[in-house]
Amino acid sequence: MKKKAIYPGTFDPVTLGHLDVIERGMKLFDEVIVGVTTNPNKKTLFTIDERIGLIKKSLGKKKGVKVKAFDSLLVDFAKKEKCKVIMKGLRELSDFTREFQHAIVNRKLRPEMETIMIMTNPKYFYVNSSIVKEVAGLKGPVEKFVPKHVEKALKEKLKKKKQINQR
């Protein structure tokens, strides 16, 4: 039986930190499913299809990784994918508190679920999608935080959003 893990998130946009966690997860599991979802507490810049496209382009033709959308409880998505492991990346202490709570709730909902935490590479511990969008929105450089194609997509999306807001 294949060892599988789901790496869930909104990935709005995918960052080099996310990609680092995916790469490291691919060394631990036969298959990593990047589960792209919506979060009612977050207003996304990119549509779910755009986010999936950006992730797929970032990953290229890597074997052992799939990118899928879901709009259900994570444990229900994991059950559908026949997966019992959730993989999460940790940047700093506040991530641990939130992710620990999620892990406990997921285990209460589906007792056979396990959550593993992967500590981020120290060079990405301060990177998150919100900061990337903020820096890009203020015309700051983001090439150290995201792949080139994501940087380009961010600039285009923010330019369109600005044009719409000026109408």
pLDDT for the residue 22: 97
Q: Residue 117's beta-bridge partner residues?
A: 88
The one catalytic residue in 42, 57, 123, 161 is 42
Q: Is-catalytic flag, 167?
A: no
Averaged pLDDT, 71-76: 96
Give the separation between CA 139 and CA 150, rounded to whole angstroms: 14
Could you tell me what percent of the chain has a pLDDT over 90? 81
Q: Is-catalytic flag, 129?
A: yes
The one catalytic residue in 4, 129, 133, 157 is 129
Give the architecture-level CATH label for domain 4-126.
Answer: 3-Layer(aba) Sandwich (3.40)
* Whole-structure pTM value: 0.93
Q: Is-catalytic flag, 110?
A: no
Give the separation between CA 59 and CA 26, rounded to whole angstroms: 11
Please give the angle made by the CA atoms of 26, 50 and 126, to the nearest 5 degrees.
55
**pLDDT band at residue 71 under the 50/70/90 scheme:** very high
**How many CA atoms lie less than 13 Å away from 127 in the CB half-sphere?**
24
The one catalytic residue in 4, 51, 88, 91 is 91
Residue 162 has pLDDT above 80, yes or no: no
Q: 98-115, pLDDT tens digit by residue? A: 899 999 999 999 999 999
Sorted by where each begins, the domain ranges of the chain are 4-126
Residue 119 tokens read as 């500590």
Residue 43 has pLDDT above 70, yes or no: yes
The one catalytic residue in 18, 51, 133, 157 is 18
**pLDDT band at residue 36 under the 50/70/90 scheme:** very high
- 10 Å CB burial of residue 84 (0-12, 13-18, 19+) is middle
**What 3-state DSSP class applies to 3?**
coil
Q: Is-catalytic flag, 42?
A: yes
Residue 104 near residue 96, CB atoms below 8 Å: no
Q: Report CA torsion sign: 122, 125, 129, 133.
A: negative
Residue 32 near residue 5, CB atoms below 8 Å: yes
